[in-house]
Structure 1
């Protein structure tokens, strides 16, 4: 407390000591919060020689008190005599930056950053930078018993790498990163795996390739077959980027086998991450080399005996097509996509139909007219009625993407012809298709071509055919309905 006359200049350190030793946490907290007042009373010299050493030696309090202290010291520059003496604040803040409670450490680091801007270049080098002598602490953190500590080191590794510079990176961070990639906890390995590309990019250019090939690649190879799907997925999201770092020869010899293994991984996310980044490899080794290496694996998966595997590859096909381009797709993958349309599993045929629509959206209506539509329409004459129905499903999906002209001139005649199919399932799907593509057609086609066929199907001997034809005629939201108002009302 202040002296009897209320003069804060008489405030003795002994009183502060008594208050900070009081069992009442709130009293101790209040004392810390008025440190600036106490420092003003003491003057800059006593603050430096008495107050700060006392605070440095007595950092053992409740987290709430330590947090307030860490915040207060960040504003103490002028109270210790200005920038010339600001280095006096480093010892107590350094101690606070090592306490167990995270929020206290964060606040201490925040205050350290704040006062670092008030150091002169010389003082930074003499007083502040010795605090970046963090390697013993970093090594200890990278091997900490708590996996959460090791996880945070892995998660912030790229930032640490940039902060310490190339020499420390080569001598200290490379071994630490290897250990994190081999950590016993999957969460740590996953965090480190995500940093592989960035870590390799930030390595010193003159020794980058040597470090990767000698120290990092062996760890990466182990992670490709990791027991955790999360680890494999994390690695798959960045591993393709190593191609641009290591170059063509190393990619072909060392990375492509890893890509092939991941492309066959049982985890869909791993396969997706590889396919999503094929363009990185394409830029380095070229489409021909890529097709020779990866295409067989893609084809193998596309023809896998397990239909769920085939389904996964179909879902990735539009993405793959976009990565590889239309010419490569037409040459290597078009036939594959058409083969899926006659797969014995309905889910595959359905997915293949959706796949065609996405490909048309990607490559355009003209490409569809020349490449896809003729093959789809050719299936209308297939002996298997399931394949004939697939033609209708494809038309339903493709009509909007292909537009009015292609739909009217090429697709509509086939649909109308199929209204005479001997199989009732095909005929009622014709009715459903006419309702589906109706909004794409012009009014003349609806009136002169679609209307007569639907009227005929509405009198079909099969009850399902009649039902769906009548539904198409009086469909509430169908463009067709405007041409049948009179018939329905009568």
Structure 2
């Protein structure tokens, strides 16, 4: 009877393994979507000891299957015994975060951040931050791209010493040789900035923004508009005029040689206006606004023309009239 019970317990994992190895991709995909059912049948301990290691070795498959696996693992904390065991899910997701297909990586990063929010500070220090650093220092750019999206969540729960280390590692990604990595660093810097006090933003983040805003790739520069807005929102308005580097970068974005960059700053004009003080609006934004209305590119003119509705309309129009 005991042998029969043991066979019954082994049956779910055996079926899963067979289906995950099946030639039919739909069967493999369905098996992934039933992982939670299998985990419930196995229980938390066997899920940790058997199922997760098996999945850790199963990251060579069709992109559709791997995307589904990345998604499923993000909601798997309860099946491994709760947050105190949540770190066991990091290894397969770390492997998935290195996959070439962007959809797989994006879903893995999303699930990693979801799990990180449930971990204790000690788990984050011991498991999650080292994972982020490993991906950041990997040889292949896909890992580094994933890493750029894994800084903000652990940063909010880390010790001051670890926070300093995370900022230093992120700075290396901003200065990476590969444009795709710098692009994703720019894309994630705005969120990262929002987790920091003004003093650190001024001392460390403005130089990173300045570096990205001067990038030779316009696909990087156009993403710095959101970073500029995040920095302006973090720095008290009465201090903004004293930071010449920030204002110079703002002026450069308005006059960028690439119409795509000018379009982006035109499209975000109202958000920029809300984030800066009256002096910057009068001295920098109003002339830029008028110049963009005469831009050579129709897309830029169209974007800027729709940027003074709502609460900013009176403010901007008053300065334009005075100008």
Same fold (TM > 0.5):
yes
Question: RCO greater where, 1 or 2, for CA within 8 Å and sep 6 or more?
Answer: 2
Matched residue, 2:207: 257
Q: Is the 8 A contact 2:86 2:115 kept in 1?
A: no
Q: Distance in 2 between matches of 1:355 and 1:59?
A: 53
Q: Distance in 2 between matches of 1:197 and 1:93?
A: 27
Q: Is the 8 A contact 1:190 1:235 kept in 2?
A: yes
Q: Distance in 2 between matches of 1:355 and 1:192?
A: 33
CA positional deviation for 1:223: 1.6
CA positional deviation for 1:329: 0.9
Counting matched residue pairs gives 297
Q: Distance in 2 between matches of 1:322 and 1:280?
A: 11
Query: Does residue 332 in structure 1 map to residue 291 in structure 2?
Result: no
CA positional deviation for 1:367: 5.3
Q: Distance in 2 between matches of 1:73 and 1:48?
A: 16
Q: Distance in 2 between matches of 1:94 and 1:188?
A: 26
Q: Scaled by the length of structure 2, what TM-score is found?
A: 0.67
- In structure 1, list runs of 5 or more residues that go unmatched: 1-41, 77-85, 117-123, 376-490
Query: Does residue 132 in structure 1 map to residue 123 in structure 2?
Result: no
Q: Is the 8 A contact 1:247 1:284 kept in 2?
A: yes
Q: Distance in 2 between matches of 1:361 and 1:262?
A: 30
**For the structure 1 residues 347 and 142, does the alpha-carbon distance in structure 2 shift closer, same or farther, using more than 3 Å as the test?**
same
Q: Is the 8 A contact 1:318 1:355 kept in 2?
A: no
- In structure 2, list runs of 5 or more residues that go unmatched: none
Larger radius of gyration: 1
CA positional deviation for 1:220: 1.3
Matched residue, 1:52: 9
The DSSP-based 3-state class of the residue aligned with 1:257 is helix
Query: Does residue 347 in structure 1 map to residue 296 in structure 2?
Result: yes
Q: Scaled by the length of structure 1, what TM-score is found?
A: 0.47
Q: What aligned pairs does 1:61-210 form with structure 2 within 5 A after superposition?
A: 61=18, 63=20, 67=31, 91=46, 95-97=50-52, 98=54, 100=58, 132=85, 135=88, 138-139=90-91, 142=94, 147=99, 151=105, 154-201=109-156, 203-204=157-158, 207=159, 209-210=160-161
The DSSP-based 3-state class of the residue aligned with 2:139 is coil
Matched residue, 1:364: 313
Q: Distance in 2 between matches of 1:308 and 1:176?
A: 38
Q: Distance in 2 between matches of 1:310 and 1:130?
A: 43
**For the structure 1 residues 93 and 333, does the alpha-carbon distance in structure 2 shift closer, same or farther, using more than 3 Å as the test?**
closer
Once superposed, what is the RMSD of the aligned Cα atoms?
Answer: 4.8
CA positional deviation for 1:286: 1.4
**For the structure 1 residues 268 and 287, does the alpha-carbon distance in structure 2 shift closer, same or farther, using more than 3 Å as the test?**
farther
| 1:13-42 per-position Cα deviation (integer Å, ceiling 9, x unaligned) | xxxxxxxxxxxxxxxxxxxxxxxxxxxxx7
Q: Distance in 1 between matches of 2:78 and 2:261?
A: 60
